């Protein structure tokens, strides 16, 4: 793991290694970006919660030495909402796969965004259902192969960034495992933002996705990310046809809105206030 | 001063459930509106912030169940309330709470089903769902109130059992109890027994979140209070980490069930009315037991040796008590507002030693005292 802080073990449950991920899987790179972000953020581990759903990527919570909750498929945000509302003072991170977040968990995603509750969400987007062996997800690009799309996918995929923007997320970014230093920075900025922060991490699943779509192994898929991820600053100089088939990376949206748990605390103060009917 | 509840007043069952939750120390509610449970949410939306608690209307019942588990892990006593369709949606995460041993209370004010059924009509169609609704072998505790007063006291008890045994507890009410209004006496706060979860001692070098004490229940550290640990719905070892080892899997699942079944004396609650010498015994729970009470009293007036055995805790099923009754009674009658759920359990315990018959009603209406009285008379 390149660029790991020398005390990475401080943030990892080393006794739970080796991890379950396949050789060439990008999940370890996202995990190391998270560790580097935690190192920089310097949060008290006792005062930090990491919630995940179900999937290969969601196993990351088990390797991180925090208060960790590996919940049910798609529901991580709902569990996290309960935790954050119960204890607004703690830092809550949510890790999900693309299927977890946008399919079975799609409803929770848009409502957590609408509430602008202060959660930092990292979505591992490998364009596929990895854990169950390669079925298409709402983020699988059109005309791709999946075990449940033997003739190619014909459903239109979501654009996660546009989806959560429309739903009300106040910090949205996209990174890739190739641009891992950028990914770390985006996680740090997202965590520091008060409100609902979504960081989409484009990552490789060579085993259940890449192989079937002739994208090569882990290394080739990283190179694909390098060629297709265009930093938003750079995109300004590109013509629309030059952006074809590519995707934006970097900080893609930032706005201000009242944060849910703060508003709720104001409500408590108002209800408990000594003078009624102000 | 509008938060003060008069000591004695007319109260609705659902309101009593909300008051019971507050009295038990509940400080978190997440739910999704559904008749006939909605008043519980409405009342707690108003009252929780006043005691510094939190209320949230989630996007659905799945999310509500998830949110109360999260809040409970974070240290707040948590509750959700729903009815049939919503209770079905909660099942996956109910199982999650069972295997991760997170205390919480789920109220199901039963309505007529399946599906949307008759939303405003009462039924007892979820007796089996309360036991076996979620997949896999899991423990279940369900309490069934038969009065407004009991809706209050059993909600407190539901929290106490949840905290005591680190498990979800179901308050299995029904539309009649939820919506009726009757005399309610608010107990003095000092008379309400409130149990809180057992915590690990401070200063352990290592905390094992799933290492049980002798009673089978592991002490529970709340999140962010100093012990970091992993919670997963995967089968896990004592550290909380996932495992697929056969012996560890068996040990966990057996312990989850044993920690309940080994403490039936702390959980089982029943009421016996004139059963001592009864030859004909009615076994009932919830609203139906009110009709049964009337019927039994009338039968006694007419010189018939009838009695009522009421299940206050429906799950775990009181096998031992029912077995004892079957040795004494000539006939057991099980009235219920479904096509026969409780009766299956009674028959399982009684075997064929005593005659067991049912009175079943699926019209959305109460079973009347007369119907039960007639059934008693036909057994003479
Ligand atoms: C309710 C439910 N439905 C289905 C599954 C099976 N399942 C487990 S992981 C998964 C999809 C995983 O894909 P994704 O969320 O994209 O994560 P990845 O494994 O690719 O990291 C599915 C369908 C489940 N565990 N629970
Ligand atoms: S199946 Fe794919 S996502 Fe899952 S561990 Fe293997 S490479 Fe990674």
Question: For residue B52, what is the domain's CATH number?
Answer: 3.40.50.970
Is the separation of the CB atoms in B127 and B342 below 8 Å? yes
A 10 A CB-CB count for B147 gives: 19
Q: Which two tokens stand for residue B236?
A: 């896990």
Side-chain half-sphere of B5: how many Cα atoms within 13 Å? Answer: 20
Question: Average pLDDT of chain A?
Answer: 96
Q: Is the pLDDT of residue B1 over 50?
A: no
- Mean pLDDT over A152-165 rounds to 97
The answer on B295 and B186 residing in a single domain is no
What confidence tier does A274 reach under pLDDT thresholds 50, 70, 90?
Answer: confident
Q: Which atom of ligand 1 is nearest to the CA of A98?
A: 16
Contact: B71, A83; criterion CB under 8 Å: yes
- Residue B7 is predicted with a pLDDT of 82
Is the separation of the CB atoms in B53 and B4 below 8 Å? no
Q: What is the DSSP string of A44-64?
A: -GGGEEEEE-SSTGGGHHHHB
Percent residues over pLDDT 70 in chain B: 98
- Mean pLDDT over B353-364 rounds to 95
Topology of domain A23-272, CATH: Rossmann fold (3.40.50)
Q: Is residue B102 part of a domain?
A: yes
Cross-strand pairs, B282: B308, B333
Residue nearest ligand 2's atom 8 by CA: A25
Cross-strand pairs, B12: B181
The answer on B368 and B281 residing in a single domain is yes
Q: CA-to-CA distance for A30 and B285, rounded, in angstroms?
A: 54
Residue nearest ligand 1's atom 24 by CA: A73
Contact: A66, B228; criterion CB under 8 Å: yes
- Mean pLDDT over B344-371 rounds to 95
- Mean pLDDT over B372-379 rounds to 98
Is the separation of the CB atoms in B285 and B311 below 8 Å? yes
Where do the DSSP E strands lie in B202-337?
A: 230-232, 270-273, 280-285, 306-311, 313-315, 331-336
Q: Is the pLDDT of residue A277 over 90?
A: no
Evaluate if pTM is beyond 0.90: yes
- Residue A1 is predicted with a pLDDT of 47
Which chain B residues are Cβ-neighbours of A46 within 8 angstroms? 224-226, 228
Q: CA-to-CA distance for B10 and B8, rounded, in angstroms?
A: 7
Asked whether A124 lines ligand 1 (CB < 6 A), one says yes
The answer on B181 and B325 residing in a single domain is no
SS3 A84: helix
Q: Choose among A203, A153, A191: nearest CA to A30.
A: A203
Q: CA-to-CA distance for B106 and B168, rounded, in angstroms?
A: 7
Q: Is residue B206 part of a domain?
A: no
Considering only CB atoms, A46 lies closest to which of B62, B92, B226, namely: B226
Q: Which two tokens stand for residue B193?
A: 């027994």
Asked whether A128 lines ligand 2 (CB < 6 A), one says no
Q: Choose among A256, A257, A262, A258: nearest CA to A88.
A: A262
Q: Is residue B359 part of a domain?
A: yes
Among B156, B191, B226, the domain-final residue is: B191
Contact: A90, B74; criterion CB under 8 Å: yes
ω before B36 within 30° of 0 (cis)? Answer: yes
Total number of residues shown for chain B: 380
Asked whether A30 lines ligand 2 (CB < 6 A), one says no
Asked whether A139 lines ligand 1 (CB < 6 A), one says no
Q: How many domains does chain B contain in total?
A: 2
The answer on B187 and B40 residing in a single domain is yes
User: How many helical (H) and strand (E) elements, i.e. helices and strands, does chain B have?
Assistant: 13, 16
Which of A82, A110, A117, A168 best tests the B interface by mutation, with the highest count of B CBs <10 A? A82
Cross-strand pairs, A70: A52, B232
Q: Is residue B226 part of a domain?
A: no
Q: What is the pLDDT of residues A164-184, one digit of tens each?
A: 999 999 999 999 999 999 999
Which chain A residues are Cβ-neighbours of B30 within 8 angstroms? 81-82
Total number of residues shown for chain A: 278
Ligand 2 mean position, distance from CA A65 (Å): 22
The answer on B283 and B168 residing in a single domain is no
- Residue B4 is predicted with a pLDDT of 59
Ligand 1 mean position, distance from CA A135 (Å): 10
- Mean pLDDT over A223-252 rounds to 96
Q: Is residue B159 part of a domain?
A: yes
- Mean pLDDT over A91-101 rounds to 98
Q: Strand B8-12 relative to strand B181-185: parallel, antiparallel, unpaired?
A: antiparallel
Task: Tell which one of A100, A126, A213 to mutate to probe ligand 2, the residue whose CB is within 8 A of the most ligand atoms.
Answer: A126
Is the separation of the CB atoms in B31 and B82 below 8 Å? yes
Q: Which two tokens stand for residue B159?
A: 């929290």
Q: Strand B306-311 relative to strand B270-273: parallel, antiparallel, unpaired?
A: antiparallel
ipTM here:
0.97
The answer on B140 and B18 residing in a single domain is yes
Q: Which two tokens stand for residue A171?
A: 């910090």
Q: Which domain holds residue B364?
A: 270-377
Q: What is the pLDDT of residues B114-133, one digit of tens each?
A: 999 999 999 999 999 999 99
- Residue A3 is predicted with a pLDDT of 57
- Mean pLDDT over B153-159 rounds to 98
Q: CA-to-CA distance for B238 and B241, rounded, in angstroms?
A: 7
Which element (helix H / strand E) includes A176? strand A171-176
Is the separation of the CB atoms in B195 and A33 below 8 Å? no
Asked whether A127 lines ligand 2 (CB < 6 A), one says no
Among B191, B219, B252, the domain-final residue is: B191
Structural domain boundaries in chain A:
23-272
What confidence tier does B257 reach under pLDDT thresholds 50, 70, 90?
Answer: very high
Q: Which two tokens stand for residue A89?
A: 């003072």
Considering only CB atoms, A82 lies closest to which of B68, B228, B241, namely: B68
Q: Choose among A78, A66, A72, A58: nearest CA to A37.
A: A66
Shortest Cα distance, chain A CAs vs residue B62, angstroms:
8
Percent residues over pLDDT 90 in chain B: 97
A residues 81-100 lying closer than 8 A (beta carbon) to B? 81-83, 85-87, 90
Q: CA-to-CA distance for B109 and B82, rounded, in angstroms?
A: 6
- Burial class of B34 by CB neighbour count within 10 A (0 to 12, 13 to 18, 19+): buried
Which chain B residues are Cβ-neighbours of A266 within 8 angstroms? none
Residue nearest ligand 1's atom 16 by CA: A99
Is the separation of the CB atoms in A103 and A138 below 8 Å? yes
Q: What is the pLDDT of residues B8-50, one digit of tens each?
A: 999 999 999 999 999 999 999 999 999 999 999 999 999 999 9
Is the separation of the CB atoms in A87 and B224 below 8 Å? yes
Q: What is the pLDDT of residues B276-330, one digit of tens each?
A: 999 999 999 999 999 999 999 999 999 999 999 999 999 999 999 999 999 999 9
Q: Strand B331-336 relative to strand B313-315: parallel, antiparallel, unpaired?
A: unpaired
A 10 A CB-CB count for B303 gives: 8
Sign of torsion over alpha carbons A64, A68, A73, A76: negative
- Residue B249 is predicted with a pLDDT of 98
Shortest Cα distance, chain A CAs vs residue B246, angstroms:
19
Q: CA-to-CA distance for B98 and A138, rounded, in angstroms?
A: 31
Q: Across chain A, which distance is largest between two alpha carbons, in Å?
A: 69
Residue B73 touches chain A, beta carbons under 8 Å: yes
Shortest Cα distance, chain A CAs vs residue B251, angstroms:
21
């Amino acid at each position: 793991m390149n660029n790991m802080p020398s005390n990475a073990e401080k943030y990892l449950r080393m006794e739970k290694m080796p991890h379950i991920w396949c050789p060439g899987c990008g999940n370890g790179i996202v995990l190391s970006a998270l560790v580097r972000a935690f190192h920089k953020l310097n949060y008290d581990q006792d005062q930090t919660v990491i919630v995940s759903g179900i999937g290969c990527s969601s196993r990351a919570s088990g390797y991180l030495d925090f208060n960790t909750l590996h919940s049910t498929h798609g529901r991580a945000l709902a569990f996290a909402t309960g935790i954050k509302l119960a204890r607004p003072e703690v830092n809550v991170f949510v890790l999900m796969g693309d299927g977890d977040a946008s399919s079975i968990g799609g409803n929770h995603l848009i409502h957590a965004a609408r509430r602008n509750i202060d959660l930092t969400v990292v979505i591992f987007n490998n364009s596929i259902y990895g854990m169950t062996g390669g079925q298409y997800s709402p983020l699988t690009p059109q005309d791709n192969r999946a075990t449940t799309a033997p003739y190619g996918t014909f459903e239109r995929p979501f654009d996660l960034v546009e989806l959560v923007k429309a739903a009300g997320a106040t910090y949205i970014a996209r990174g890739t495992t190739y641009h891992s230093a950028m990914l770390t920075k985006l996680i740090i900025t997202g965590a520091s933002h008060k409100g609902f922060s979504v960081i989409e991490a484009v990552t490789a699943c060579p085993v259940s996705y890449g192989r079937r779509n002739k994208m090569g192994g882990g290394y080739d898929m990283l190179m694909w990310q390098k060629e297709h991820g265009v930093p938003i600053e750079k995109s300004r100089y590109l013509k629309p046809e030059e952006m074809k088939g590519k995707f934006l990376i970097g900080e893609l949206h930032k706005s201000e809105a009242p944060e849910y748990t703060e508003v709720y605390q104001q409500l408590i103060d108002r209800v408990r206030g000594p003078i009624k009917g102000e | 001063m509008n938060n003060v509840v008069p000591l004695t007043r007319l109260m609705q069952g659902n309101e009593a459930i909300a008051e019971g939750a507050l009295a038990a120390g509940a400080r978190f509610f997440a739910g999704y509106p559904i008749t006939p449970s909605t008043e519980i949410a409405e009342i707690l939306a108003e009252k929780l912030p006043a005691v510094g608690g939190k209320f949230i209307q989630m996007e659905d019942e799945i999310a509500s169940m998830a949110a109360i588990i999260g809040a409970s892990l974070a240290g707040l006593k948590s509750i959700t309330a729903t009815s049939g369709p919503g209770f079905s949606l909660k099942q996956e995460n109910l199982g999650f709470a069972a295997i991760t041993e997170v205390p919480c209370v789920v109220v199901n004010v039963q309505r007529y089903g399946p599906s949307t059924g008759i939303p405003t009509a009462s039924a007892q169609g979820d007796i089996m769902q309360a036991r076996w609704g979620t997949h896999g072998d899991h423990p279940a505790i369900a309490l069934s109130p038969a009065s407004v007063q009991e809706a209050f006291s059993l909600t407190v008890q539901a929290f106490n059992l949840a905290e005591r045994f680190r498990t979800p507890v179901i308050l299995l009410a029904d539309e009649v109890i939820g919506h009726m209004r009757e005399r309610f006496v608010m107990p003095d706060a000092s008379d309400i027994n409130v149990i809180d979860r057992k915590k690990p001692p401070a200063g352990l070098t290592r905390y094992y979140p799933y290492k049980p004490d002798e009673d089978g229940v592991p002490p529970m550290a709340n999140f962010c209070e100093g012990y970091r640990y992993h919670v997963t719905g995967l089968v896990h070892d004592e550290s909380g980490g996932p495992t697929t080892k056969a012996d560890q899997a068996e040990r966990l699942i057996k312990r989850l069930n044993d920690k309940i079944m080994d403490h039936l004396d702390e959980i089982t609650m029943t009421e016996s009315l004139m059963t001592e010498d009864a030859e004909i015994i009615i076994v009932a729970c919830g609203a139906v037991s009110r009709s049964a009470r009337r019927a039994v009293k009338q039968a006694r007036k007419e010189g018939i040796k009838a009695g009522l055995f009421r299940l206050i805790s429906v799950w775990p099923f009181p096998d031992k008590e029912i077995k004892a009754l079957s040795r004494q009674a000539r006939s057991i009658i099980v009235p219920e507002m479904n096509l026969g759920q409780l009766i299956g359990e009674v028959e399982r315990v009684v075997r064929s030693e005593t005659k067991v018959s049912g009175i079943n009603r699926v019209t959305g209406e109460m079973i009347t005292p007369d119907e039960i009285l007639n059934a008693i008379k036909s057994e003479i």
